[in-house]
Amino acid sequence: MSPVEDTRRWVEDFVVGLGLCPFAAPVLSAGQVVYQLCPEVEAEAAFYWAGAQVQWLLDQSPAVVDTSLLIFPDGLDDFEDFLDFEEELEQLLDQSGAAELIQLAHFHPRYRFADVPADDPANATNRAPYPTVQLLRVDSVAKALARYPGAASIPDRNMALLRQRASEGKD
């Protein structure tokens, strides 16, 4: 399978299938999710490519493309390097003013929360098949949060769910 298909399957089966992101199913079923494969290997070139994808998303109608997942199959394998990369993208959004319109979510095969042991099943909430940065429209996120009471509890609920599944031998 290709990195795009692997990522699509992860979104459909894991993220939506387990209900980890209650906001994902509607945009997925509406066909408003785009998966973009980075052709670059070097981090600097991948950074410029990602910046261009932010502009591309801003140029699209939200009714057509609501969110985009940028997939980095080559390079960015080291989790700490990936975090640095994502932080630089955040700075780009801030400096360009795009942070008012776009926010980032990030996922990595070796994702590890800072205060959680490496083998904790809860880390899987942010583990994707490949290093991935999701571009989310700030307005769409705000609308989704307004419709979902208790949104602040989603991360804790997801961590508990994955820990329970692991203890039951489901993962």
In contact, 129 and 77? CB cutoff 8 Å:
no
pLDDT at 135: 98
In contact, 130 and 3? CB cutoff 8 Å:
yes
Q: Is 31 exposed, middle or buried (0-12, 13-18, 19+ CB in 10 A)?
A: exposed
> In whole angstroms, what is the distance from residue 22 CA to residue 151 CA?
9
DSSP E strands, the chain: 33-37, 67-71, 102-107, 132-137
- pLDDT tens-digit profile, the chain (171 residues): 899 999 999 999 999 999 999 889 999 999 999 999 999 999 999 999 999 999 999 999 999 999 999 999 998 999 999 999 999 999 999 999 999 999 999 999 999 999 889 999 999 999 999 999 999 999 999 999 898 888 889 999 999 999 999 998 876
Residues spanned by the domain of 127: 3-167
Q: Tell whether pTM > 0.85.
A: yes
User: How far from the centroid of its chain's Cα atoms is residue 65's Cα?
Assistant: 15
Count up the domains in the chain and report the number.
1
